[in-house]
Amino acid sequence: MQAQGQLPGLILNNLQAGDILLTSGSKDTLVHGVITLGQWLGQLFKPTGGSSSTVHAAIYIGRDQNNRHRLIESAGEGLAYVDMEPNNPGSGTSTYLVYRYIAPHPDNPEISLSQMAAFCAEDYYTQQQNPNWAGTPNVGQYSKLQAARSVLSASKVTEDVIRAMNRIWGDPAGVMGEVFCSNFVIRCYVAASIALSPGGMIIQEAQLGIRKNPKTTSPRELQGTLDEDPQRWQRVGNITVPKPAKK
């Protein structure tokens, strides 16, 4: 496994839809500082991989109609589109560690699970913008409580978790409630797995792009999970962009 500092520097054109972007070592906000401390303490209870300084996760969704690179993240104000090349950049930069899903889909090698995950991310953003259509007033809201619990809770994918995933994502509307950053990213891949499943939206653990319980997986543990699954996930590099403006 390459150390993060040895990874190649990327440009925006190197990114692919569905790439997972992790922010590491950032303590520029109180929330990130608390997450870092919580994950460091959480390692005593959940000794899994990943760095305690990995404080945020987002999903790259490709270019918009103006050919601009975008990501979607779950942050303090809920799900947000982020322009990665803003016209009026502020001070500072954001550096992301980029992970890419590289395995063929188990049921159809011609289908890209990562592209479907990016599509699901956009669909959930649309649900947040149209809560009456989505059918729940809390769709896409950021949950600090769930984020805090994730550093201590067990995140293993059990049979009960699989049943819960199928129950949630088997809903025709695919409605989500409150989320946090790594929760949102994993849920996008769960939704993609269900969407591409030939079993009528009934999935098994082997079909999941990320084999973790989305409700209880912190950014640190998400990173550790991706690193421990090199047959399906690859660290492709680091990318630094101007601090983006949110739409």
Per-residue pLDDT of the chain (247 residues; tens, 9 = 90+): 444 457 789 999 999 999 999 987 554 554 555 555 554 455 555 556 656 678 889 999 999 888 999 999 988 778 888 888 877 666 678 889 999 999 887 666 777 899 999 998 998 888 777 766 555 556 666 555 555 555 555 555 555 555 555 555 444 434 456 778 888 898 888 888 877 877 655 667 667 788 887 777 888 889 988 999 999 999 999 999 987 555 4
Q: Nearest 5°: phi and psi at 221?
A: -70, -30
Q: Which residue has the tokens 């589109």?
A: 81
pLDDT of residue 1: 45
Strand order of the β-sheet with 93-101 is 78-83, 69-75, 54-63, 20-24, 93-101, 233-242
How many Cβ atoms from other residues are within 10 Å of residue 27's Cβ? 14
Distance CA 203, CA 232 (A): 18
pLDDT at site 92: 77
Q: Which contiguous run of DSSP H or E holds residue 180? A: none
Domain definitions of the chain by residue range = 4-242
Residue with tokens 């990318």: 239
Nearest to 102 by CA among 239, 238, 237, 235: 235
Token representation of residue 183: 């929760």
pTM equals 0.79
Burial (CB < 10 A; 0-12, 13-18, 19+), residue 242, is middle
Q: Where is 39: in which H helix or E strand?
A: helix 30-42
Q: What is the pLDDT of residue 54?
A: 83
